[in-house]
Chain A
Protein backbone atom coordinates (compact mmCIF):
# COMPACT_ATOMS: atom_id res chain seq x y z
CA UNK A 1 0.00 0.00 0.00
CA UNK A 2 1.40 3.31 -1.11
CA UNK A 3 1.21 6.25 1.30
CA UNK A 4 2.97 9.60 1.69
CA UNK A 5 4.14 9.85 5.29
CA UNK A 6 7.55 11.47 5.30
CA UNK A 7 9.84 13.30 2.95
CA UNK A 8 12.59 10.94 4.12
CA UNK A 9 10.84 8.16 2.14
CA UNK A 10 10.79 10.18 -1.09
CA UNK A 11 13.28 9.44 -3.84
CA UNK A 12 14.57 12.06 -6.23
CA UNK A 13 12.55 10.43 -9.03
CA UNK A 14 9.38 10.61 -6.97
CA UNK A 15 9.90 14.28 -6.14
CA UNK A 16 10.56 15.20 -9.76
CA UNK A 17 7.54 13.23 -10.95
CA UNK A 18 5.25 15.04 -8.49
CA UNK A 19 6.64 18.44 -9.50
CA UNK A 20 6.06 17.65 -13.18
CA UNK A 21 2.50 16.59 -12.41
CA UNK A 22 1.91 19.73 -10.35
CA UNK A 23 2.87 21.78 -13.37
CA UNK A 24 0.27 19.94 -15.45
CA UNK A 25 -2.38 20.62 -12.80
CA UNK A 26 -1.46 24.28 -12.75
CA UNK A 27 -2.11 24.43 -16.48
CA UNK A 28 -5.36 22.52 -16.07
CA UNK A 29 -6.58 22.46 -12.45
CA UNK A 30 -10.15 21.41 -13.20
CA UNK A 31 -10.52 17.92 -14.55
CA UNK A 32 -12.52 14.94 -13.40
CA UNK A 33 -9.75 12.54 -12.43
CA UNK A 34 -11.29 11.95 -9.00
CA UNK A 35 -14.81 11.43 -10.33
CA UNK A 36 -16.53 8.84 -8.14
CA UNK A 37 -13.78 8.86 -5.50
CA UNK A 38 -14.37 9.59 -1.84
CA UNK A 39 -11.58 11.13 0.27
CA UNK A 40 -11.50 11.46 4.08
CA UNK A 41 -9.85 14.51 5.64
CA UNK A 42 -9.25 13.52 9.26
CA UNK A 43 -8.01 16.56 11.16
CA UNK A 44 -7.36 15.56 14.77
CA UNK A 45 -6.16 19.12 15.31
CA UNK A 46 -7.45 22.16 13.47
CA UNK A 47 -5.51 23.53 10.53
CA UNK A 48 -7.90 25.48 8.37
CA UNK A 49 -5.29 26.48 5.83
CA UNK A 50 -4.06 22.95 5.13
CA UNK A 51 -7.54 21.45 5.16
CA UNK A 52 -8.90 24.01 2.70
CA UNK A 53 -5.96 23.44 0.39
CA UNK A 54 -6.50 19.66 0.34
CA UNK A 55 -10.27 19.96 0.00
CA UNK A 56 -9.88 22.43 -2.85
CA UNK A 57 -7.52 20.01 -4.55
CA UNK A 58 -10.03 17.14 -4.25
CA UNK A 59 -13.07 19.18 -5.24
CA UNK A 60 -11.43 20.66 -8.31
CA UNK A 61 -10.73 17.11 -9.46
CA UNK A 62 -14.37 16.11 -9.04
CA UNK A 63 -13.86 14.01 -5.90
CA UNK A 64 -15.94 14.14 -2.73
CA UNK A 65 -14.77 14.75 0.83
CA UNK A 66 -15.93 13.50 4.22
CA UNK A 67 -14.19 14.04 7.55
CA UNK A 68 -13.81 16.21 10.60
CA UNK A 69 -11.85 19.35 11.33
CA UNK A 70 -10.85 18.92 14.96
CA UNK A 71 -10.54 16.14 17.53
CA UNK A 72 -13.55 17.30 19.57
CA UNK A 73 -15.89 16.16 16.81
CA UNK A 74 -14.02 12.92 16.12
CA UNK A 75 -14.41 9.55 17.77
CA UNK A 76 -11.00 9.95 19.42
CA UNK A 77 -12.68 12.27 21.91
CA UNK A 78 -14.58 9.17 23.07
CA UNK A 79 -11.30 7.35 23.62
CA UNK A 80 -11.18 5.39 20.39
CA UNK A 81 -7.61 4.50 19.44
CA UNK A 82 -6.12 5.92 16.25
CA UNK A 83 -5.79 2.38 14.88
CA UNK A 84 -9.51 1.73 15.26
CA UNK A 85 -10.54 5.07 13.75
CA UNK A 86 -8.30 4.48 10.74
CA UNK A 87 -9.52 0.90 10.22
CA UNK A 88 -13.12 2.08 10.38
CA UNK A 89 -12.62 4.98 7.96
CA UNK A 90 -10.64 2.72 5.59
CA UNK A 91 -13.89 0.88 4.93
CA UNK A 92 -15.57 3.96 3.57
CA UNK A 93 -13.10 5.89 1.45
CA UNK A 94 -10.47 5.61 -1.28
CA UNK A 95 -7.88 7.82 0.43
CA UNK A 96 -7.20 9.23 3.91
CA UNK A 97 -5.65 12.65 4.44
CA UNK A 98 -4.71 13.01 8.09
CA UNK A 99 -3.48 15.73 10.42
CA UNK A 100 -2.61 14.68 13.96
CA UNK A 101 -0.86 16.43 16.86
CA UNK A 102 1.12 13.30 17.82
CA UNK A 103 4.41 12.56 16.06
CA UNK A 104 4.46 9.28 14.18
CA UNK A 105 0.65 9.10 14.02
CA UNK A 106 0.72 9.18 10.22
CA UNK A 107 3.20 6.30 10.02
CA UNK A 108 1.01 4.23 12.31
CA UNK A 109 -2.10 5.12 10.28
CA UNK A 110 -0.37 4.08 7.05
CA UNK A 111 0.42 0.69 8.61
CA UNK A 112 -3.14 -0.11 9.64
CA UNK A 113 -5.10 1.53 6.81
CA UNK A 114 -6.30 -0.52 3.84
CA UNK A 115 -6.24 2.62 1.66
CA UNK A 116 -3.38 5.09 1.07
CA UNK A 117 -2.68 7.74 3.71
CA UNK A 118 -1.34 11.24 3.08
CA UNK A 119 0.28 12.87 6.09
CA UNK A 120 -1.02 16.44 6.41
CA UNK A 121 1.19 17.07 9.43
CA UNK A 122 2.06 14.92 12.46
CA UNK A 123 3.06 17.21 15.31
CA UNK A 124 6.53 18.66 14.88
CA UNK A 125 7.59 15.77 12.67
CA UNK A 126 6.56 15.84 9.00
CA UNK A 127 4.29 17.62 6.54
CA UNK A 128 5.46 16.30 3.17
CA UNK A 129 2.97 18.08 0.90
CA UNK A 130 4.15 21.41 2.31
CA UNK A 131 7.64 20.41 1.19
CA UNK A 132 6.33 19.49 -2.26
CA UNK A 133 4.74 22.90 -2.67
CA UNK A 134 7.91 24.58 -1.43
CA UNK A 135 9.96 22.62 -3.97
CA UNK A 136 7.44 23.42 -6.68
CA UNK A 137 7.64 27.12 -5.82
CA UNK A 138 11.43 27.02 -5.94
CA UNK A 139 11.52 25.20 -9.26
CA UNK A 140 8.90 27.48 -10.79
CA UNK A 141 10.62 30.69 -9.76
CA UNK A 142 14.22 29.64 -10.35
CA UNK A 143 13.70 27.37 -13.33
CA UNK A 144 15.70 24.66 -11.58
CA UNK A 145 16.34 23.03 -8.22
CA UNK A 146 20.08 22.46 -8.57
CA UNK A 147 22.91 24.59 -7.20
CA UNK A 148 20.79 27.18 -5.39
CA UNK A 149 21.61 29.16 -2.26
CA UNK A 150 18.78 28.86 0.25
CA UNK A 151 18.73 31.01 3.35
CA UNK A 152 16.43 29.83 6.12
CA UNK A 153 15.61 32.51 8.66
CA UNK A 154 13.96 32.53 12.07
CA UNK A 155 12.90 29.53 14.11
CA UNK A 156 15.02 26.70 12.77
CA UNK A 157 14.68 24.64 15.91
CA UNK A 158 10.95 23.92 15.86
CA UNK A 159 10.29 24.80 12.22
CA UNK A 160 9.13 21.52 10.75
CA UNK A 161 8.93 22.96 7.24
CA UNK A 162 12.59 23.94 7.16
CA UNK A 163 13.68 20.49 8.34
CA UNK A 164 11.71 18.70 5.62
CA UNK A 165 12.82 21.13 2.92
CA UNK A 166 16.43 20.65 3.95
CA UNK A 167 16.06 16.88 3.63
CA UNK A 168 14.32 17.07 0.25
CA UNK A 169 16.97 19.42 -1.15
CA UNK A 170 19.74 16.87 -0.53
CA UNK A 171 19.35 15.64 -4.12
CA UNK A 172 20.00 19.06 -5.65
CA UNK A 173 23.39 20.24 -4.39
CA UNK A 174 22.12 23.22 -2.39
CA UNK A 175 24.04 25.74 -0.30
CA UNK A 176 22.28 26.61 2.94
CA UNK A 177 22.51 29.59 5.23
CA UNK A 178 20.88 28.87 8.59
CA UNK A 179 20.03 32.23 10.12
CA UNK A 180 18.66 31.97 13.64
CA UNK A 181 19.09 33.23 17.19
CA UNK A 182 21.15 30.90 19.38
CA UNK A 183 18.09 29.55 21.19
CA UNK A 184 16.42 28.53 17.95
CA UNK A 185 19.34 27.24 15.93
CA UNK A 186 19.11 24.25 13.62
CA UNK A 187 19.02 21.10 15.77
CA UNK A 188 22.08 18.87 15.90
CA UNK A 189 20.15 16.08 14.15
CA UNK A 190 19.86 18.19 10.98
CA UNK A 191 23.39 19.55 11.20
CA UNK A 192 24.53 15.92 11.31
CA UNK A 193 22.22 15.21 8.38
CA UNK A 194 23.91 17.94 6.32
CA UNK A 195 27.35 16.59 7.16
CA UNK A 196 26.34 13.03 6.34
CA UNK A 197 24.88 14.04 2.97
CA UNK A 198 27.70 16.49 2.23
CA UNK A 199 25.33 19.44 2.08
CA UNK A 200 27.13 22.75 2.35
CA UNK A 201 25.84 25.05 5.13
CA UNK A 202 26.72 28.03 7.31
CA UNK A 203 25.18 29.06 10.60
CA UNK A 204 24.74 32.82 10.99
CA UNK A 205 22.89 35.14 13.34
CA UNK A 206 22.55 38.25 11.17
CA UNK A 207 20.24 38.07 8.18
CA UNK A 208 21.89 41.08 6.50
CA UNK A 209 25.05 39.06 5.97
CA UNK A 210 23.46 36.68 3.49
CA UNK A 211 20.76 38.61 1.61
CA UNK A 212 22.97 39.51 -1.36
CA UNK A 213 23.96 35.93 -2.17
CA UNK A 214 20.56 34.31 -1.61
CA UNK A 215 18.33 32.75 -4.30
CA UNK A 216 15.56 31.60 -1.97
CA UNK A 217 14.87 33.37 1.31
CA UNK A 218 12.75 31.05 3.45
CA UNK A 219 11.27 33.02 6.35
CA UNK A 220 9.65 31.46 9.44
CA UNK A 221 7.95 32.84 12.53
CA UNK A 222 9.97 33.57 15.65
CA UNK A 223 7.41 32.95 18.37
CA UNK A 224 7.75 34.32 21.86
CA UNK A 225 6.58 31.06 23.48
CA UNK A 226 9.62 29.24 22.07
CA UNK A 227 11.98 31.24 24.27
CA UNK A 228 12.90 30.23 27.80
CA UNK A 229 14.54 33.61 28.31
CA UNK A 230 12.23 36.51 27.45
CA UNK A 231 15.06 39.02 27.60
CA UNK A 232 16.63 37.05 24.78
CA UNK A 233 13.36 37.19 22.82
CA UNK A 234 13.13 40.98 23.19
CA UNK A 235 16.71 41.27 21.98
CA UNK A 236 16.22 39.23 18.82
CA UNK A 237 12.57 39.68 17.85
CA UNK A 238 13.18 42.54 15.42
CA UNK A 239 16.43 41.12 14.11
CA UNK A 240 14.48 38.46 12.25
CA UNK A 241 12.01 40.78 10.55
CA UNK A 242 12.47 41.44 6.85
CA UNK A 243 11.90 45.01 5.61
CA UNK A 244 11.73 46.07 1.99
CA UNK A 245 14.79 48.30 2.23
CA UNK A 246 16.90 45.31 3.25
CA UNK A 247 16.32 43.81 -0.19
CA UNK A 248 18.29 46.54 -1.96
CA UNK A 249 21.18 44.91 -3.75
CA UNK A 250 19.72 41.41 -3.54
CA UNK A 251 19.79 39.14 -6.59
CA UNK A 252 17.18 39.68 -9.30
CA UNK A 253 16.05 36.08 -9.09
CA UNK A 254 15.60 36.18 -5.30
CA UNK A 255 12.21 34.97 -4.10
CA UNK A 256 10.88 35.15 -0.57
CA UNK A 257 8.96 32.15 0.71
CA UNK A 258 7.05 31.69 3.96
CA UNK A 259 4.85 28.75 5.03
CA UNK A 260 2.22 31.22 6.36
CA UNK A 261 0.53 32.50 8.43
CA UNK A 262 2.91 35.41 8.61
CA UNK A 263 2.81 37.57 11.74
CA UNK A 264 5.47 40.28 11.83
CA UNK A 265 8.57 38.55 10.46
CA UNK A 266 7.89 40.00 7.01
CA UNK A 267 6.95 43.63 7.10
CA UNK A 268 3.95 44.54 4.91
CA UNK A 269 6.08 46.87 2.79
CA UNK A 270 7.65 43.73 1.30
CA UNK A 271 4.32 42.45 -0.07
CA UNK A 272 4.39 44.65 -3.17
CA UNK A 273 7.97 43.77 -4.01
CA UNK A 274 7.99 41.31 -6.95
CA UNK A 275 10.42 39.20 -4.92
CA UNK A 276 7.65 38.43 -2.42
CA UNK A 277 6.28 35.03 -3.36
CA UNK A 278 4.50 33.73 -0.24
CA UNK A 279 0.93 34.16 -1.45
CA UNK A 280 1.57 32.47 -4.82
CA UNK A 281 3.43 29.80 -2.85
CA UNK A 282 0.20 28.98 -1.00
CA UNK A 283 -1.70 28.66 -4.27
CA UNK A 284 0.92 26.21 -5.53
CA UNK A 285 -0.12 23.99 -2.63
CA UNK A 286 -3.31 23.03 -4.41
CA UNK A 287 -1.42 21.87 -7.53
CA UNK A 288 1.17 19.98 -5.53
CA UNK A 289 -1.59 18.24 -3.54
CA UNK A 290 -3.54 17.38 -6.68
CA UNK A 291 -0.37 15.78 -8.00
CA UNK A 292 0.26 13.78 -4.82
CA UNK A 293 -3.36 12.60 -4.60
CA UNK A 294 -3.64 11.46 -8.23
CA UNK A 295 -0.24 9.77 -8.09
CA UNK A 296 -1.02 7.88 -4.90
CA UNK A 297 -4.32 6.62 -6.29
CA UNK A 298 -2.60 5.50 -9.48
CA UNK A 299 -4.83 7.73 -11.61
CA UNK A 300 -2.01 9.13 -13.72
Chain B
Protein backbone atom coordinates (compact mmCIF):
# COMPACT_ATOMS: atom_id res chain seq x y z
CA UNK B 1 0.00 0.00 0.00
CA UNK B 2 1.15 3.48 -0.68
CA UNK B 3 0.09 7.07 -0.89
CA UNK B 4 -0.30 8.73 -4.26
CA UNK B 5 0.73 12.29 -5.00
CA UNK B 6 -0.23 14.28 -8.04
CA UNK B 7 1.73 17.52 -8.32
CA UNK B 8 0.91 20.18 -10.92
CA UNK B 9 0.19 17.52 -13.48
CA UNK B 10 -0.58 18.70 -16.97
CA UNK B 11 -1.44 16.77 -20.08
CA UNK B 12 -1.76 17.75 -23.70
CA UNK B 13 -2.69 15.58 -26.62
CA UNK B 14 -0.68 17.15 -29.40
CA UNK B 15 -1.29 20.85 -29.01
CA UNK B 16 -4.57 20.46 -27.15
CA UNK B 17 -4.20 20.88 -23.41
CA UNK B 18 -6.55 18.51 -21.61
CA UNK B 19 -5.42 18.69 -18.00
CA UNK B 20 -4.28 22.06 -16.73
CA UNK B 21 -2.30 21.51 -13.57
CA UNK B 22 -3.90 19.16 -11.08
CA UNK B 23 -2.86 18.68 -7.45
CA UNK B 24 -4.23 15.78 -5.46
CA UNK B 25 -2.87 14.09 -2.34
CA UNK B 26 -4.09 10.62 -1.64
CA UNK B 27 -3.29 9.08 1.72
CA UNK B 28 -2.25 5.50 2.21
CA UNK B 29 -5.36 3.31 2.25
CA UNK B 30 -7.74 6.04 1.16
CA UNK B 31 -10.65 5.51 -1.23
CA UNK B 32 -10.62 8.52 -3.52
CA UNK B 33 -13.15 9.12 -6.24
CA UNK B 34 -12.56 11.31 -9.25
CA UNK B 35 -15.86 12.62 -10.44
CA UNK B 36 -16.83 15.07 -13.11
CA UNK B 37 -18.77 15.45 -16.33
CA UNK B 38 -17.84 13.46 -19.42
CA UNK B 39 -14.66 14.61 -21.10
CA UNK B 40 -13.21 16.44 -18.11
CA UNK B 41 -10.08 14.29 -18.09
CA UNK B 42 -10.75 11.74 -15.35
CA UNK B 43 -9.75 8.73 -17.39
CA UNK B 44 -6.73 10.56 -18.71
CA UNK B 45 -5.57 11.33 -15.18
CA UNK B 46 -6.11 7.73 -14.10
CA UNK B 47 -4.22 6.42 -17.12
CA UNK B 48 -1.36 8.73 -16.26
CA UNK B 49 -1.22 7.24 -12.78
CA UNK B 50 -1.21 3.79 -14.37
CA UNK B 51 1.51 4.78 -16.82
CA UNK B 52 -0.55 4.13 -19.92
CA UNK B 53 -0.35 7.80 -20.86
CA UNK B 54 2.77 9.91 -20.46
CA UNK B 55 2.82 13.07 -18.40
CA UNK B 56 3.27 16.40 -20.15
CA UNK B 57 4.33 18.31 -17.03
CA UNK B 58 4.35 17.82 -13.28
CA UNK B 59 5.02 14.78 -11.12
CA UNK B 60 3.11 11.69 -10.13
CA UNK B 61 4.36 9.91 -7.04
CA UNK B 62 3.50 6.50 -5.70
CA UNK B 63 4.81 6.15 -2.18
CA UNK B 64 7.66 8.62 -2.23
CA UNK B 65 8.90 7.59 -5.62
CA UNK B 66 8.34 9.84 -8.62
CA UNK B 67 7.01 7.46 -11.26
CA UNK B 68 6.86 9.75 -14.28
CA UNK B 69 9.29 7.58 -16.19
CA UNK B 70 8.66 4.26 -14.50
CA UNK B 71 7.07 1.75 -16.90
CA UNK B 72 3.56 0.58 -15.93
CA UNK B 73 4.53 -2.88 -14.84
CA UNK B 74 6.98 -1.53 -12.29
CA UNK B 75 4.51 0.86 -10.71
CA UNK B 76 2.82 -1.93 -8.79
CA UNK B 77 -0.69 -0.80 -9.58
CA UNK B 78 -3.69 -2.74 -10.83
CA UNK B 79 -6.42 -1.30 -12.98
CA UNK B 80 -10.00 -2.31 -13.62
CA UNK B 81 -11.08 -1.09 -17.03
CA UNK B 82 -14.48 0.20 -17.95
CA UNK B 83 -14.95 -2.66 -20.44
CA UNK B 84 -13.14 -5.04 -18.04
CA UNK B 85 -10.62 -6.04 -20.72
CA UNK B 86 -10.75 -9.70 -19.73
CA UNK B 87 -8.72 -12.01 -21.98
CA UNK B 88 -11.48 -13.82 -23.87
CA UNK B 89 -9.40 -16.93 -24.54
CA UNK B 90 -8.53 -17.55 -20.92
CA UNK B 91 -10.68 -19.03 -18.21
CA UNK B 92 -11.55 -16.95 -15.18
CA UNK B 93 -8.76 -18.65 -13.25
CA UNK B 94 -6.23 -18.00 -16.03
CA UNK B 95 -7.32 -14.40 -16.33
CA UNK B 96 -6.64 -13.88 -12.67
CA UNK B 97 -3.40 -15.82 -12.71
CA UNK B 98 -1.95 -14.20 -15.82
CA UNK B 99 0.15 -11.52 -14.15
CA UNK B 100 1.61 -13.96 -11.66
CA UNK B 101 2.38 -16.45 -14.42
CA UNK B 102 4.25 -13.77 -16.31
CA UNK B 103 6.22 -13.03 -13.19
CA UNK B 104 7.10 -16.71 -12.97
CA UNK B 105 5.49 -17.28 -9.59
CA UNK B 106 5.36 -20.91 -8.43
CA UNK B 107 2.22 -22.82 -9.40
CA UNK B 108 0.93 -23.53 -5.91
CA UNK B 109 1.36 -19.91 -4.86
CA UNK B 110 -0.64 -18.81 -7.90
CA UNK B 111 -3.33 -21.29 -7.02
CA UNK B 112 -3.66 -20.18 -3.41
CA UNK B 113 -3.79 -16.53 -4.39
CA UNK B 114 -6.37 -17.11 -7.13
CA UNK B 115 -8.49 -19.27 -4.86
CA UNK B 116 -8.37 -16.69 -2.13
CA UNK B 117 -9.38 -13.87 -4.46
CA UNK B 118 -12.12 -16.04 -5.95
CA UNK B 119 -13.45 -16.72 -2.50
CA UNK B 120 -13.51 -13.05 -1.55
CA UNK B 121 -15.48 -12.28 -4.70
CA UNK B 122 -17.58 -15.48 -4.65
CA UNK B 123 -16.18 -16.53 -7.99
CA UNK B 124 -15.07 -20.00 -6.91
CA UNK B 125 -17.73 -21.91 -8.90
CA UNK B 126 -16.92 -19.92 -12.04
CA UNK B 127 -13.16 -20.42 -12.18
CA UNK B 128 -13.25 -22.73 -15.22
CA UNK B 129 -15.61 -20.57 -17.28
CA UNK B 130 -14.64 -18.25 -20.09
CA UNK B 131 -15.55 -14.56 -19.94
CA UNK B 132 -18.19 -15.07 -22.64
CA UNK B 133 -20.03 -17.40 -20.34
CA UNK B 134 -20.38 -14.84 -17.55
CA UNK B 135 -22.93 -12.17 -16.79
CA UNK B 136 -21.90 -8.52 -16.72
CA UNK B 137 -21.66 -8.43 -12.96
CA UNK B 138 -19.60 -11.61 -12.86
CA UNK B 139 -17.21 -10.23 -15.43
CA UNK B 140 -16.87 -7.12 -13.35
CA UNK B 141 -15.94 -9.26 -10.38
CA UNK B 142 -13.40 -11.19 -12.42
CA UNK B 143 -11.83 -7.89 -13.43
CA UNK B 144 -11.58 -7.00 -9.76
CA UNK B 145 -10.26 -10.45 -8.98
CA UNK B 146 -7.50 -9.95 -11.50
CA UNK B 147 -6.55 -6.79 -9.64
CA UNK B 148 -6.76 -8.35 -6.18
CA UNK B 149 -4.54 -11.30 -7.06
CA UNK B 150 -1.77 -8.85 -7.89
CA UNK B 151 -1.91 -7.45 -4.35
CA UNK B 152 -0.86 -4.05 -5.70
CA UNK B 153 0.02 -0.83 -3.93
CA UNK B 154 -2.81 1.02 -5.62
CA UNK B 155 -6.09 0.02 -7.24
CA UNK B 156 -7.32 2.07 -10.15
CA UNK B 157 -10.92 1.76 -11.29
CA UNK B 158 -12.24 3.42 -14.43
CA UNK B 159 -16.04 3.55 -14.29
CA UNK B 160 -16.26 -0.14 -13.47
CA UNK B 161 -20.00 -0.07 -12.89
CA UNK B 162 -21.19 1.91 -15.87
CA UNK B 163 -22.06 -1.20 -17.90
CA UNK B 164 -24.28 -2.70 -15.24
CA UNK B 165 -27.97 -2.29 -14.67
CA UNK B 166 -29.19 -0.05 -11.86
CA UNK B 167 -29.81 -2.78 -9.32
CA UNK B 168 -26.54 -4.59 -9.88
CA UNK B 169 -24.75 -1.29 -9.70
CA UNK B 170 -26.04 -0.65 -6.21
CA UNK B 171 -25.04 -4.15 -5.17
CA UNK B 172 -21.55 -3.89 -6.65
CA UNK B 173 -21.13 -0.50 -5.02
CA UNK B 174 -21.50 -2.14 -1.65
CA UNK B 175 -19.24 -4.99 -2.62
CA UNK B 176 -16.44 -2.71 -3.75
CA UNK B 177 -16.76 -0.67 -0.60
CA UNK B 178 -16.63 -3.78 1.56
CA UNK B 179 -13.67 -5.05 -0.38
CA UNK B 180 -11.84 -1.84 0.29
CA UNK B 181 -12.60 -1.97 3.99
CA UNK B 182 -11.20 -5.45 4.02
CA UNK B 183 -8.07 -4.96 1.95
CA UNK B 184 -7.41 -1.32 2.82
CA UNK B 185 -5.59 -0.80 -0.46
CA UNK B 186 -5.25 2.76 -1.69
CA UNK B 187 -7.88 3.16 -4.38
CA UNK B 188 -8.50 5.73 -7.07
CA UNK B 189 -11.91 5.34 -8.62
CA UNK B 190 -13.30 7.23 -11.58
CA UNK B 191 -16.98 7.78 -12.15
CA UNK B 192 -19.27 10.40 -13.55
CA UNK B 193 -22.05 9.24 -11.27
CA UNK B 194 -22.16 11.56 -8.28
CA UNK B 195 -24.25 9.11 -6.26
CA UNK B 196 -21.52 6.51 -6.61
CA UNK B 197 -19.07 9.15 -5.49
CA UNK B 198 -21.11 10.22 -2.49
CA UNK B 199 -21.77 6.70 -1.27
CA UNK B 200 -18.35 5.15 -1.70
CA UNK B 201 -15.65 7.75 -1.29
CA UNK B 202 -13.51 8.72 1.65
CA UNK B 203 -12.62 11.73 -0.40
CA UNK B 204 -14.08 13.13 -3.58
CA UNK B 205 -12.21 15.07 -6.21
CA UNK B 206 -14.56 17.05 -8.41
CA UNK B 207 -13.03 17.74 -11.80
CA UNK B 208 -14.24 19.99 -14.56
CA UNK B 209 -12.56 20.78 -17.88
CA UNK B 210 -9.18 19.54 -16.75
CA UNK B 211 -9.00 21.32 -13.41
CA UNK B 212 -9.89 20.30 -9.88
CA UNK B 213 -12.88 22.26 -8.61
CA UNK B 214 -12.90 20.94 -5.06
CA UNK B 215 -11.51 18.13 -2.95
CA UNK B 216 -13.24 16.97 0.20
CA UNK B 217 -15.23 14.39 2.07
CA UNK B 218 -18.62 13.62 0.48
CA UNK B 219 -20.72 15.50 3.03
CA UNK B 220 -18.31 18.39 3.07
CA UNK B 221 -18.87 18.85 -0.65
CA UNK B 222 -22.58 18.55 -0.14
CA UNK B 223 -22.74 20.97 2.78
CA UNK B 224 -20.14 23.47 1.68
CA UNK B 225 -19.66 23.39 -2.09
CA UNK B 226 -16.82 25.73 -3.01
CA UNK B 227 -18.42 27.10 -6.14
CA UNK B 228 -21.43 26.95 -8.41
CA UNK B 229 -20.06 24.03 -10.40
CA UNK B 230 -19.62 21.76 -7.40
CA UNK B 231 -22.92 22.92 -5.95
CA UNK B 232 -24.71 21.97 -9.15
CA UNK B 233 -22.82 18.71 -9.65
CA UNK B 234 -23.11 17.18 -6.19
CA UNK B 235 -26.56 16.29 -4.99
CA UNK B 236 -29.54 14.82 -6.79
CA UNK B 237 -31.85 16.35 -7.81
CA UNK B 238 -29.50 19.24 -8.50
CA UNK B 239 -29.42 22.43 -6.44
CA UNK B 240 -31.67 25.30 -7.56
CA UNK B 241 -29.88 28.52 -8.41
CA UNK B 242 -31.67 31.84 -8.06
CA UNK B 243 -30.04 35.06 -9.27
CA UNK B 244 -30.47 38.24 -7.28
CA UNK B 245 -28.90 40.67 -4.82
CA UNK B 246 -27.95 40.50 -1.18
CA UNK B 247 -30.18 42.86 0.66
CA UNK B 248 -29.14 43.50 4.25
CA UNK B 249 -29.73 40.24 6.05
CA UNK B 250 -31.86 38.76 3.30
CA UNK B 251 -31.74 37.99 -0.41
CA UNK B 252 -33.76 39.75 -3.05
CA UNK B 253 -34.31 37.60 -6.11
CA UNK B 254 -34.46 39.08 -9.58
CA UNK B 255 -37.90 37.48 -9.84
CA UNK B 256 -39.15 39.98 -7.28
CA UNK B 257 -39.39 37.90 -4.10
CA UNK B 258 -37.33 37.73 -0.94
CA UNK B 259 -35.54 34.71 0.49
CA UNK B 260 -34.04 34.22 3.95
CA UNK B 261 -30.29 33.64 4.37
CA UNK B 262 -28.29 32.23 7.24
CA UNK B 263 -26.17 35.35 7.38
CA UNK B 264 -24.54 37.64 4.87
CA UNK B 265 -20.82 38.27 4.84
CA UNK B 266 -19.89 41.69 6.14
CA UNK B 267 -20.19 44.52 3.64
CA UNK B 268 -21.88 42.43 1.00
CA UNK B 269 -25.22 44.18 1.06
CA UNK B 270 -26.27 45.22 -2.43
CA UNK B 271 -23.87 42.87 -4.20
CA UNK B 272 -25.19 40.59 -6.90
CA UNK B 273 -25.15 36.95 -5.90
CA UNK B 274 -26.55 33.50 -6.69
CA UNK B 275 -28.74 31.87 -4.11
CA UNK B 276 -28.29 28.11 -3.89
CA UNK B 277 -31.22 26.11 -2.61
CA UNK B 278 -31.19 22.33 -2.42
CA UNK B 279 -34.56 20.74 -3.30
CA UNK B 280 -34.58 18.95 0.03
CA UNK B 281 -34.08 22.24 1.94
CA UNK B 282 -37.54 23.48 0.93
CA UNK B 283 -40.45 22.98 3.30
CA UNK B 284 -44.19 23.27 2.91
CA UNK B 285 -45.15 26.39 4.83
CA UNK B 286 -48.59 28.02 4.92
CA UNK B 287 -46.97 31.44 5.31
CA UNK B 288 -44.32 30.87 2.63
CA UNK B 289 -43.85 31.85 -1.00
CA UNK B 290 -46.44 31.11 -3.60
CA UNK B 291 -45.37 28.31 -5.92
CA UNK B 292 -47.39 27.22 -8.93
CA UNK B 293 -47.03 23.48 -9.44
CA UNK B 294 -45.86 22.26 -12.86
CA UNK B 295 -44.99 18.62 -12.35
CA UNK B 296 -45.51 16.23 -9.47
CA UNK B 297 -43.34 13.10 -9.36
CA UNK B 298 -44.18 10.75 -6.52
CA UNK B 299 -41.11 8.62 -5.77
CA UNK B 300 -42.59 6.58 -2.96
CA UNK B 301 -40.47 7.68 -0.06
CA UNK B 302 -40.66 11.30 -1.13
CA UNK B 303 -42.38 13.54 -3.61
CA UNK B 304 -40.56 15.66 -6.13
CA UNK B 305 -42.34 18.81 -7.29
CA UNK B 306 -41.27 21.26 -9.95
CA UNK B 307 -42.97 24.57 -9.25
CA UNK B 308 -42.79 28.11 -10.53
CA UNK B 309 -41.67 30.71 -7.98
CA UNK B 310 -41.52 34.26 -9.30
CA UNK B 311 -41.11 33.09 -12.89
CA UNK B 312 -38.40 30.52 -12.21
CA UNK B 313 -38.70 26.75 -12.10
CA UNK B 314 -37.66 25.40 -8.72
CA UNK B 315 -37.34 21.71 -7.90
CA UNK B 316 -38.52 20.74 -4.42
CA UNK B 317 -38.42 17.43 -2.63
CA UNK B 318 -40.87 16.82 0.18
CA UNK B 319 -40.97 13.98 2.65
CA UNK B 320 -44.75 14.41 2.79
CA UNK B 321 -47.03 13.00 0.15
CA UNK B 322 -48.72 15.97 -1.42
CA UNK B 323 -51.77 15.79 -3.60
CA UNK B 324 -51.27 19.02 -5.55
CA UNK B 325 -52.32 18.97 -9.21
CA UNK B 326 -50.42 20.83 -11.91
CA UNK B 327 -51.59 24.45 -11.96
CA UNK B 328 -52.43 24.57 -8.27
CA UNK B 329 -50.58 26.84 -5.91
CA UNK B 330 -48.71 25.58 -2.88
CA UNK B 331 -46.81 27.63 -0.32
CA UNK B 332 -43.21 26.82 0.49
CA UNK B 333 -40.27 28.39 2.25
CA UNK B 334 -36.55 27.58 2.33
CA UNK B 335 -34.77 26.41 5.44
CA UNK B 336 -32.46 29.40 5.92
CA UNK B 337 -29.75 27.35 7.67
CA UNK B 338 -29.39 25.09 4.61
CA UNK B 339 -29.05 27.75 1.95
CA UNK B 340 -25.91 28.71 0.06
CA UNK B 341 -24.67 31.99 -1.37
CA UNK B 342 -22.31 32.31 -4.31
CA UNK B 343 -20.62 35.37 -5.66
CA UNK B 344 -22.48 36.66 -8.70
CA UNK B 345 -19.30 37.28 -10.70
CA UNK B 346 -16.81 34.57 -9.73
CA UNK B 347 -19.31 31.87 -8.77
CA UNK B 348 -17.26 31.23 -5.60
CA UNK B 349 -18.92 30.41 -2.32
CA UNK B 350 -19.47 33.45 -0.10
CA UNK B 351 -18.42 32.83 3.47
CA UNK B 352 -21.37 33.39 5.79
Task: Answer yes or no: are A and B bound together in one complex.
Answer: no
Interface residues of B (CB under 8 A from A): none
